[in-house]
Structure 1
Amino acid sequence: MSRAFAQDPLFLHLFGNSQLDQRAKNKVTAFVSFMFDKSFFCNEEVWGIFENESLLGTYLIEKPQLNKLQNIKGVFFAIMYSILWSTRISGKTLNLLNSYMRITRSAAPSLTHHYLVMIGVKPEAQGKGLGTAMLLHLLNMVNEDDTSQGVALDTENKENIKLYRRFGFTLSRETQVNHVPVYCMFYQKD
């Protein structure tokens, strides 16, 4: 799935061009792997579309209202994995990721909500409606969840704003993280 994020502005800024540089490719792959591991360990929602046992597209979403045990497990996992993962990335990159998380999470509304961590489709499967199918699945799940008031997300691709608006998201904040533009959006249930 790391190829789905190869041209993402934040990934390019943090890791370099993974299509041209093997070290950057390894870092992107390690980061995406970390995000999947974290999602499974913290009982977050991971959903994907497969064809012939090949993952074509996926999203990772944090659910609202984790119980205390899940929070403790999540913190423990994040600390342990961050220590292991920090050998693969620089302290500067780790600080930028922490800044990104702090800034984007502060842009989310105080309402109880889901948080779309990542959504991506492999390049060879793009343009076939898989992203739309994943967003519709996500919104259906959120609309059926009585504990959630909506979905927050952030994107660094300005052209994604138009796509997310078609699904009912509104732009809540424009900001920057180390000169990378970030667009924070929210879908509020009716």
Structure 2
Amino acid sequence: MSEAIRDLQPSDKAAFVALMAEAFARDPLFVAALGEDVGCLGKKAATEVFLSFLFGMTRIMGGAPRGLFVDGQLAGCSLVEPPAGNPIVQTFRPLASLLRFLPVAIRLPLRTTVLLNDYMKATRAAAPGLPHHYLTLVGVLPERQSQGLGRRLVEDALEQSRCHQRSMGLALDTENPANAALYRRWGFEMRETVDIGSLTAYCMFRPTGEHP
């Protein structure tokens, strides 16, 4: 079995969206925000709209969607956002994110938009103030889970942080307590637990250079 991780190109977006929609079908945040009550779009279309936004936003923020291929087939994906290059970029990042999200917000119910916005603000506020990479999403096809592929993608994100001159580590969030326990075993520290409506997010960080 051969494995390879590479940057995903715009032409890979459809494959990314399809894989992550399947991987996150039971994720607490996706269920709460993009469940059955998503207006005229429907659950499937709303999920695709949101994942497409995240794919494009990662590229705007200077990151690259990553894909893990097993025997040439896409089996897992991750979105990793690098630290801003300078204070001016850091200042305008929230504005760029807002402008990018506006077309998405218009297509989603207000309830969904508010929940996603509150989640992103709360979890990012819990991240360290020092320059760091942020693992927005990591997902593996259900039939490929429990094969170590998720850890491969997390390690790939950590390597991006180690190779960056300014990055001091990798931050991530999860709403799944079992995932939080898994990340602890991989060397991540619990920074904060935040409640967003009925959701609890576990905000975690692993400093660069530390190994489990």
- Give the alignment's TM-score, normalised by structure 1: 0.87
Q: SS of 1:87's equivalent?
A: helix
1:165: which partner in 2? 184
Q: Which residue, out of 98, 106, 125, partners 1:106?
A: 125
Cα gap change, 1:134 to 1:98, in 2 (>3 Å): same
Residue 189 in structure 1 maps to residue 208 in structure 2:
yes
Secondary structure (helix, strand or coil) at the match of 2:113 reads: helix
Alignment match, 2:16: none
The answer to whether the 8 Å contact 2:171/2:206 transfers is: yes
Query: How far did 1:75 drift?
Result: 3.4
Identity of aligned residues (%): 37
Deviation at 1:8, TM superposition (A): 0.5
| SS of corresponding position for 2:42 | helix
Aligned residue among 169, 174, 179 for 1:155: 174
Q: Aligned with 2:136: secondary structure?
A: strand
Which of 1, 7, 21 aligns to 1:2? It is: 21
**2:166 counterpart letter in structure 1:** T
8 A contact 1:42–1:74 mirrored in 2: no
**Amino acid across the alignment from 2:26:** Q
- Encode CA deviations 1:123-170: one digit per residue, 9 max, x unaligned: 122122110111111112212222011111110001001211122101
Say which SS state the counterpart of residue 202 (structure 2) adopts: strand
Aligned residues: 186
**Pairwise CA RMSD:** 2.3
> Separation in 1 of the partners of 2:89 and 2:168?
23
Q: Paired residue for 1:140, among 159, 163, 180? A: 159
Give per-residue Cα distances to partners, 1:44-69, cap 9 Å, x unaligned: 13211124654211111110123446
Aligned equivalent of 1:13: 32
How far, CA to CA, are the matches of 2:71 and 2:42 in structure 1? Answer: 30
Contact 1:62 1:116 in 2 (8 A): yes
Higher mean Cα deviation, 32-41 or 22-31? 22-31
Q: Which segments of 5 or more consecutive residues in structure 1 lack a partner in the other structure?
A: none
State the distance in 2 between where 1:111 and 1:77 align: 20
**CA 1:144–1:75 in 2, change beyond 3 Å: closer, same or farther?**
same
1:176 equivalent to 2:195? Answer yes
Correspondence for 2:95:
75
TM-score (norm 2): 0.79
